[in-house]
Amino acid sequence: MSKRRIAILGSGQAALTAATQMTDPRNPAAKDLELTVYQLGWRLGGKGAAGRNVDPAEKYR
């Protein structure tokens, strides 16, 4: 049987939770999935992502 190919667009909290649930070894269907997460930038987490801005004028952005 071939693997089901699944694409997740974005890497917000819901997308990462879905990816974790689908690839959980306790999930019987996990072995039959090929999962790819696509993200526009390098940082995962969507609106909940945190980062550091080194520009003091934009410290609390």
Q: 12-59: per-residue pLDDT in tens?
A: 999 999 999 999 999 998 999 999 999 988 878 877 777 666 676 666
pTM: 0.70
The domain segmentation of the chain, as residue ranges, is 4-44
In this model, does residue 61 exceed pLDDT 80?
no
Nearest C-alpha neighbor of 40 from the set 8, 4, 6: 8
> In the prediction, which pLDDT does 58 show?
65
Cβ atoms 35, 8 nearer than 8 A: yes
Q: Are 47 and 16 in contact (CB under 8 A)?
A: no
Q: How far is it, in rounded angstroms, from Cα 30 to Cα 45? A: 23
